Structure 1
Amino acid sequence: MKRANFLCATWGATAAVLLLVASPARADDPAKILKSMTDYLGSQKTLSASFESDIEIITPELQKIQFTSSGQMKLSRPDKLRVRRTGGYTDIDLVYDGKTISLYGNDAKTYVQADAPGTVDQMIAAMQARSGLGMPGTDLILSNAYDELMATTTESKHVGQGVIDGVECEHLAFRTPETDWQIWIEPGEKPVPRKYVITSKTMTGAPQYTLRIRDWKTDAFADADTFVFKAPAGASKIDLESAAIADFDELPPGTPQGAKQ
């Protein structure tokens, strides 16, 4: 009986996969659904949300290891952003006030600052270029998010529906030369992203970055100090180009970034 149940379950899963491959995607246009999401987020003067992120690495022994963090994001367009992320190896606070970006590592008791006058979009681009820090997920809040997300897309598909934190969402899948990525978008008048997965196609084992987002709000921030950085007592300032910037990464120092090809 157990073997029969196993075979039935296996056949059911196989049939579902074959049906997905053989059947055309639903008539819903994935680009149109994605555009509705980016237009909605881009039209909001203020945004806040909570998130959980998982980043995978592949060791030289081909073992897949996952590191998990939680955090909060607060955005005031066009030039203010605050992101707090707490994980097993880092506890960081990023504050941008339109003129200066400040990044504080609570575990290391150090912080970096750099002049970066402009918009949140410009700051994110500058941070990625200057420090080399990956900032996956920030592309969802860019003012030109749709263009950025679709810039190198070669294929898109409306997979169907999925339930994230009890909310039924539209499940979309996209392909680029270097990554596959998926996004789950809540339908309706407030089409916010609920889950975002980026899968590498250039590294052995196809490691993934997963972002789950909840508690979306568009209320203005009452606290005047929301985007003001105040260095904690005893914290020391380091140079942005310093190797100590690793203290602000999601991975512990010395973590291998991918298995040998």
Structure 2
Amino acid sequence: MNGPRWLIRSALCSALCVFALVGPAFGTEAPPSDSPPQAVEQDEPDDSPIDDEAMTVLTRMADTLAQTQRFTVTIRASYDVVQDTGEKITFGERRALTLNRPDGLRVEAQESDGKRSLVTFDGKAISVFNADENVYAQIERAGTIDDAVRYLVQDLQVRLPLALLLVSTLPDELEQRLQTLDYVERDMLTAVPTDHLAGRTEDVDFQIWIATEGPPLPERVTITYKGDEGEPQYRAEFSDWNLNPDVQPAQLAFHPPDGAERIPVMIRVRRNAAGGSAGSSEGAPK
């Protein structure tokens, strides 16, 4: 039986996908951009494909997450893995996320088979720990959370289903990627009443349920990878949001457990049109 394709690139990338936390549009095949948003050319000359009410709700959520300096949240997710026969098998995971801007991030994860892993970023390095094998890897990478997410997506080519929810540029990123957005309904069956939206980007279709009571935070997300064979889905439910936790930088630092072995990191070097290298050329950490 085939496991999740984006979780088995290598021992490191398998663990790095714990970091895969975080975007509708949120399937970030394109990296978060430093450039200003560009207008999207629309095929439909009649009605706007972006519903104003839905955009207001989505923008309010994006602004809230982008401007929040620290938060914690628990994410219970499931995702399809398309087998060679075409059958879809669903796997699950639970993540506990702590974010402390500008440069602190910790993600503790447990997969449905019980495997546990940890990813931290402290502004100096990305650390990945596999608890079952008691091994860890580190990539020296100074900067902000935005820089770390961009590096994972663009240079390491790790698929991060919800990556945009972590970056401070979230409102602009959504504006760049959205092709359509509709307001579906007011959903009264979620944990709290939510505004149910549905949208499309070039790579994914997504639905998101945003709380109408209290801060406008996501309660549920569904992403369909329409360009992948079998159009697999990623589904996530959010709980235990805290927008003002007591987080100290020391809590986000990584300290290898006794006996943990450090393993090398293999990083793909991308080639530009002239044949030279582009992006990172780091090898095994020293």
TM-score tier by shorter-chain length is 0.7 to 0.9
Q: Report the equivalent of 1:54.
A: 78
1:160 aligns with 2:194: no
Find the residue that maps to 1:126 and give its secondary structure. helix
Distance in 1 separating the partners of 2:93 and 2:71: 20
Following the alignment from structure 1 to structure 2, what is the Cα–Cα distance between the partners of residues 40 and 193?
10
Using the alignment, how far apart are the partners of 2:146 and 2:54 within structure 1?
24
Tell me what 1:73 maps to: 97
Tell me which of 173, 176, 193 is aligned to 1:151: 176
Higher helix fraction (1 or 2): 1
The residue identity in structure 1 corresponding to 2:206 is W
**AA at the equivalent of 1:33:** V
* Higher mean displacement: 216-225 or 54-63: 216-225
Give 1:1-261 correspondences, 5 Å limit: 29-89=53-113, 90-163=115-188, 165-223=190-248, 225-241=250-266
Return the alpha-carbon distance in structure 2 between the equivalents of residues 110 and 100 of structure 1. 16
Write the distance in 1 (CA, Å) between the matches of 2:124 and 2:138. 10
Q: Report Cα offsets for 1:109-151 as digits up to 9, x if no partner.
A: 1111111111101101112233332222121121011222332
Any conservation in 2 of the 1:31–1:156 contact (CA below 8 Å)? yes
The alpha-carbon deviation at position 57 of structure 1 amounts to 1.2
- What TM-score do you get using the length of structure 2 for normalisation? 0.71
Aligned counterparts of 1:45 and 1:150: Cα–Cα separation in 2 = 22
Aligned length: 220
Deviations 1:186-220 (A, max 9, x none): 01441011111110111232110111111110224
1:124 counterpart SS class: helix
Distance 1:85 1:143, change over 3 A: same
Q: Which amino acid aligns with 2:244?
A: D
Q: 1:239: Cα distance to partner?
A: 1.8
Instruction: Single out whichever of 116-125 and 214-223 deviates more from structure 2.
Output: 214-223
Q: Which runs of 5+ in 1 are unaligned?
A: 1-24, 244-261
1:240–1:128 Cα change, 3 Å: farther
Give 1:91's aligned amino acid: R
Query: Aligned partners of 1:45 and 1:118: how far apart in 2?
Result: 16
Over 3 Å counting, the alpha-carbon distance change for 1:163 and 1:62 in structure 2 is farther
Contact 2:66 2:171 in 1 (8 A): no
String of CA shifts for 1:12-46, please: whole Å, max 9, x gaps: xxxxxxxxxxxxx9x76111111100111122111
SS at match of 2:63: helix
Distance 1:170 1:75, change over 3 A: same
In 2: Cα distance, 1:110 partner to 1:223 partner = 25
Q: Are the structure 2 counterparts of residues 78 and 188 from structure 1 closer, same or farther at C-alpha, using a change threshold of 3 Å?
A: same
Compared with structure 1, are the counterparts of its residues 236 and 165 closer, same or farther at alpha carbon in structure 2 (3 Å cutoff)?
farther
Residue by residue over 1:47-71, the C-alpha shift from the partner in whole angstroms, topping out at 9 and shown as x without a partner, is 1001111111111201011110001
What is the CA RMSD across the aligned residues, in angstroms? 2.3
Structure 1 length normalisation: TM-score?
0.78
Q: Distance in 2 between matches of 1:47 and 1:92?
A: 20
- State the AA in 1 paired with 2:246: F
Identity of aligned residues (%): 28
Q: What amino acid is aligned across from residue 260 of structure 2 in structure 1? A: A
Go from structure 1 to structure 2 and tell me whether the alpha carbon gap of 1:242 and 1:99 turns closer, same or farther (over 3 Å shift).
closer
1-structure distance, mates of 2:155, 2:91:
24
Q: Is the 8 A contact 1:169 1:184 kept in 2?
A: yes
Q: 1:62 to 1:222 in 2, by over 3 A?
A: closer
